[in-house]
Amino acid sequence: MKESSARKNRSAPASTPAPSDTPLSHRILDDTALPDVRRRLRTLSADTPARWGGLDCGGMVRHLRATVELSLGEMQAPRVVPTWIGRPVGWLSLYVFTRWPRGRKSSKPAVPVLFPGRSTTFDEDRERLLAALERFVEHAAAKPLAHANHPLMGTTTRRRWARVHALHVAHHLRQFGA
């Protein structure tokens, strides 16, 4: 009996961190995560080097904005795999394998619409991303069960998109050391 209770005490966390102290990759993108995302994005500049991958910093910012706009239904993207493959793979990437692989370079992205070309300055692109993130957080809080299509997982609720965005933004911020 003593051994069993000792094991319980070792595995129990000393304290539960406040949401703002929890890494973004362990949360969802909501109003508690947005200030940290905003702060980290503002540390980046157009010439911030990538630690891996083929995107430059401006390309990463435009890619994240396109993904957020997709989740809001402001743009559309084609499905890349059938639902019977995409849903389980998506679930695993959101809840099991949450540290996404690095360094995947591709001459042709699977969903080109999510990799828009340069349109404005880096600062303007970053502000457009921040505005899209704020719109998403507002919409997700108001209608968490509203749906938008995901190229891999198909029809996806805003609540699940909030998890996608938390992991996706965390992945790319790590890519640029922010």
More confidently predicted of 128 and 10:
128
How does pLDDT run across 146-163, given as a tens digit for each residue?
999 999 899 999 999 999
Taking the alpha carbons at both ends of the chain, their separation in whole angstroms is: 47
Q: DSSP per residue over 53-109, as a string?
A: SS--HHHHHHHHHHHHHHHTTSS----SS-HHHHHHHHHHHHHT--SPPP----SS-
User: Collapsing DSSP states into helix, strand and coil, what is residue 27?
Assistant: coil
CA distance 41 to 173: 8
Average pLDDT, the chain: 82
Q: How many residues does the chain have?
A: 178
Residue-level pLDDT at 106: 57
How does pLDDT run across 45-62, given as a tens digit for each residue?
999 999 988 889 999 999
pLDDT at 1 over 90: no
Report the range out of 5-19, 77-91, 99-113 with the highest average pLDDT: 77-91
Question: pLDDT band at residue 97, thresholds of 50, 70 and 90?
Answer: low
18: left (phi over 0), alpha (psi -120 to 50) or beta: beta
Q: DSSP per residue over 140-177, as a string?
A: HHH-TT-EEEETTTEEEEHHHHHHHHHHHHHHHHHHTT
Q: What domains can be seen in the chain, in order of their start residue? A: 26-98+115-175 (1.20.120)
pLDDT at 118 over 70: yes
Residue-level pLDDT at 87: 83
User: Collapsing DSSP states into helix, strand and coil, what is residue 116?
Assistant: coil
